[in-house]
């Protein structure tokens, strides 16, 4: 009688833990989806502003920063799709591989574009103009990107998702690009100001 009671209690405890695990995972997945939705929105706006400002100023680094934002949009879209598939392990693994492949292809395209534009600028000796919009964008990204990257790492750790970890790394990389972009734009702005003062 006692053994039977203990067995039923154990079954209820295991059942409760299983339901709790499912609920916890569902909450983490929901948080992951919100993060990716924010990533898509933020980087879409960031990319448009950066590309337009970069084309106006003739800045390769600013245009490249905008293209990197579109890479983030691609990665975020694929991860959002992956998380919406469900609990099928094989589907998750396949979509993670697709996400990594898509991001890798975009990075190759970005590297080719920057190399082409750099050679063109060196050949024509064209100097970029200063961009206030680019400076503001880089400053905001320096604040937003580290927070977003940390949140994605936490979700990736909770879900055991390699793709989410890779996406977090890419977001972290965007932070470094923001710092490099800001340093370059500040240098151009200071140079233009010094030139104006000299006149």
pLDDT by residue for the chain (199 residues), tens digit each? 455 544 554 444 444 444 445 558 788 888 989 999 999 999 999 999 999 988 888 877 788 888 888 888 988 888 888 777 655 666 667 777 777 787 677 777 767 776 776 676 667 665 556 778 888 988 999 999 999 999 999 998 888 877 788 788 888 888 887 887 788 777 655 544 444 444 4
- Specify if 9 maps to a domain: no
- Specify if 135 maps to a domain: yes
- Specify if 13 maps to a domain: no
**What is the Cα–Cα distance from 98 to 87, expressed in whole angstroms?**
17
Please indicate, yes or no, whether the overall pTM of this predicted structure exceeds 0.75: no
Q: Provide the number of structural domains found in the chain.
A: 1
Residue with tokens 């400053």: 139
- Specify if 30 maps to a domain: no
Question: What are the CB-based long-range contacts (under 8 Å, 24+) for 184-192?
Answer: 184/59, 184/61, 185/59, 185/61, 185/62, 185/130, 185/131, 185/134, 185/135, 185/138, 186/135, 188/59, 188/128, 188/129, 188/130, 188/131, 189/130, 189/135, 192/129, 192/130
| pLDDT digits 0-9 by tens, 47-86 | 999 999 888 888 777 888 888 888 889 888 888 887 776 5
- Specify if 28 maps to a domain: no
Which of 47, 190, 189 shows the shortest CA–CA distance to 132? Answer: 189
Q: How many CB atoms lie within 10 A of CB 37?
A: 13
- Specify if 162 maps to a domain: yes
């Amino acid at each position: 009688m006692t053994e039977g009671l203990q067995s039923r209690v154990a079954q209820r405890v295991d059942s409760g833990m299983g339901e709790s695990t499912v609920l916890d995972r569902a909450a983490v997945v929901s948080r992951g989806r919100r993060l990716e939705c924010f990533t898509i929105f933020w980087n879409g706006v960031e990319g448009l502003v950066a590309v337009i400002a970069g084309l106006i100023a003739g800045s390769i680094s600013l245009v490249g920063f905008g293209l990197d934002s579109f890479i983030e949009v691609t990665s975020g879209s694929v991860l959002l799709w992956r998380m919406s598939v469900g609990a099928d392990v094989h589907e998750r693994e396949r979509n993670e591989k697709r996400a990594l492949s898509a991001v890798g292809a975009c990075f190759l395209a970005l590297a080719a574009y920057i190399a082409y534009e750099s050679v063109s600028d060196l050949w024509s000796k064209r100097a970029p103009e200063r961009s206030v919009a680019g400076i503001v964008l880089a400053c905001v990204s320096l604040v937003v990107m580290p927070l977003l990257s940390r949140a994605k790492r936490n979700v990736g750790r909770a879900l055991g998702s390699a793709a989410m970890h890779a996406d977090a790394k890419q977001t972290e990389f965007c932070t470094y690009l923001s710092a490099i972009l800001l340093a370059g734009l500040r240098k151009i702005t200071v140079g233009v100001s010094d030139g104006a003062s000299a006149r």
